Structure 1
């Protein structure tokens, strides 16, 4: 284990943020988590306990909002590293794309300025595959970290927000970051065991399959990675000298279709998967549903388009060894059932 450090983790009460806190505490570090509301502390501590971690006095919370300057300087003071996990990811498309883009980009810059001014060694930015694999023509080869999403193409607001936020982060480091170092982790869809009802939007896919809310599987393809492995990659990127100035795609392996995901759930869950659909939805049915459902409208640009991504760099440079997509999906479903989050 590396020497114990004090780590600022933004978005600490969220799905990935709470896992990063759990693994940082388990590794012997102290954590200062930023939240928008201190009333979330009991829920966060309960989630950490469910992950097998007694946070005790090694966890403290600070109020800070991506949309405001207040609180970030105090949150960063005395820390050694920061994991900037917080970023908005709603299930529905906002009417104004800037509802996502502004807090993602400006919030990232607020965290970086605070980290620089407080003398932190390195910030690990939670970016996304959304900043890599969108706006491109079909391609046979997997995407890697050298590729950026094309913001000149028509992109969903979330994809724009993640791409522009990561671009802004690298520009900041180059122009005014001083001695501050930066690494970025770019996960695909994050799955794995949930610790509370505050979970990633990607988890909704498994929930809706289990609930029977989806009458069939749309022709969509997803990368899958376990939240525990994404947290592990963040901690590796935080301290490994080789991670300085680098991006790392986080994916368990090849992308899967929704039909593949549904089949995995049926194969492993038995009666608990009785409502998981076995048929594939024609594209015209999905387009018709999108007329009434903004969440469905958000997926239309990717309907029928296969993408893939490589995790070779994270494996080679940082020794990362993720769980299989199958294990991540089954753990997702089992945790939703155990917590009573499936109807």
Structure 2
């Protein structure tokens, strides 16, 4: 049984990736910044891959520190670099997001190369694909051939900057060192939570369900189901022709109103808003920072992402947007993160 290293093991996506690997028979070593996260990982595996925890090891390693990485790479056949920093609001200091993304990726690849590991599968994002192309109005469809141009962004966005620079660094390192890299690019990741420690992206659903989102911005996004994202990591590992490739893992474009409609139909007793916020108000609010700053680049346009290449790698259809939204809602309620009505 090959051992696979998964970075950021306590994250929403990483837990599902670990579950996929364990169910497929692999041994897994996961990294965390602090072993206090071990309980949530164990709870997730009880749900996602019961009876497999004897093949799971968790070790401490920080993306901004060399300590622990040499051991983490020992007796490992491939690395799935999933770890990243995601924040709900644009930080005052962008380096708190950018440094772990870029330096962390460089550190993971450097230690992998030192241990003789060549196979790397990296969780990237549509943020590295669909920005800086001068698209400010109307619809446009992006593919894996598109790469974000940070020099032409309408507004700076730390997450986009960090992920784009990290992917650029990964391809440069892999090409220079003869490593076998594949990158996976999800959109807004929804789907079922495996334990109460969920992701910021599920807050989109939670905010609509509990009424803390009183009105919706007039934007949309490509939804990705976490189950598809995790399964695509495994599929990339199992298919040699994925080496050197980027894969979008994205479903159809969905507006905030589309998501709210899905939730209102399934949960009619919940206070899901009907109100939207005009773009001009959003632009004024964005000047003050906060979460609006993170979506300002998507206002006034529709970004569609062609996930057909990734779906072919997966070998089955993606979960629908409705499945992703409703499974997220169900797990938020089940874990008492949204009180049942």
Q: Provide the TM-score with structure 2 as the length reference.
A: 0.94
- Provide structure 2 residue ranges, at least 5 long, that are not aligned to the other structure: none
Number of equivalences: 335
Please identify which structure carries the higher strand content. Answer: 2
Partner of 1:216: 215
Q: How does 1:100-249 map to 2 (within 5 A)?
A: 100-138=97-135, 140-154=139-153, 155-175=156-176, 177-178=177-178, 180-249=179-248
Q: Alpha carbons of 1:318 and 1:194: their partners in 2 closer, same or farther (altered >3 Å)? A: closer
Partner of 1:295: 291
Q: Alpha carbons of 1:125 and 1:52: their partners in 2 closer, same or farther (altered >3 Å)? A: closer
> Does residue 77 of the first structure (1) align with residue 74 of the second (2)?
yes
2:221 and 2:61 map into 1 onto residues whose CA distance is 32
Residues 155-174 of structure 1: CA distance to partner in whole angstroms, max 9, x if unpaired?
A: 31100100000000000011
Residues 224-245 of structure 1: CA distance to partner in whole angstroms, max 9, x if unpaired?
A: 0110110000011112111000
Residues 185-221 of structure 1: CA distance to partner in whole angstroms, max 9, x if unpaired?
A: 0111100011223222211111111111111221011
Contact 2:157-2:293 at 8 Å conserved across structures: no
Partner of 1:43: 40
Task: Kindly state the Cα deviation for residue 94 of structure 1 after the two structures are TM-superposed.
Answer: 1.4
2:172 and 2:243 map into 1 onto residues whose CA distance is 15
Contact 2:180-2:244 at 8 Å conserved across structures: yes
Partner of 1:258: 256
2:133 and 2:218 map into 1 onto residues whose CA distance is 18
Task: Kindly state the Cα deviation for residue 291 of structure 1 after the two structures are TM-superposed.
Answer: 5.4
2:208 and 2:284 map into 1 onto residues whose CA distance is 19
Contact 2:90-2:289 at 8 Å conserved across structures: no
Task: Kindly state the Cα deviation for residue 322 of structure 1 after the two structures are TM-superposed.
Answer: 1.3
Residues 48-96 of structure 1: CA distance to partner in whole angstroms, max 9, x if unpaired?
A: 1133523322000111000011111110110111110001111111112
Contact 1:211-1:342 at 8 Å conserved across structures: yes
Name the stretch that deviates more: 23-32 or 130-139: 130-139
Name the stretch that deviates more: 150-159 or 79-88: 150-159
1:83 and 1:53 map into 2 onto residues whose CA distance is 21
Residues 236-265 of structure 1: CA distance to partner in whole angstroms, max 9, x if unpaired?
A: 11121110000000112x211100110011
Partner of 2:335: 339
3-state DSSP of counterpart to 1:306: strand
1:92 and 1:133 map into 2 onto residues whose CA distance is 20
> Does residue 324 of the first structure (1) align with residue 324 of the second (2)?
no
Partner of 1:307: 303
2:123 and 2:307 map into 1 onto residues whose CA distance is 16
Task: Kindly state the Cα deviation for residue 289 of structure 1 after the two structures are TM-superposed.
Answer: 4.3
Contact 2:249-2:311 at 8 Å conserved across structures: no
3-state DSSP of counterpart to 2:150: coil
Residues 301-324 of structure 1: CA distance to partner in whole angstroms, max 9, x if unpaired?
A: 322321100011112345253111
Q: Alpha carbons of 1:307 and 1:103: their partners in 2 closer, same or farther (altered >3 Å)? A: same
Partner of 2:277: 281
- Provide structure 1 residue ranges, at least 5 long, that are not aligned to the other structure: none
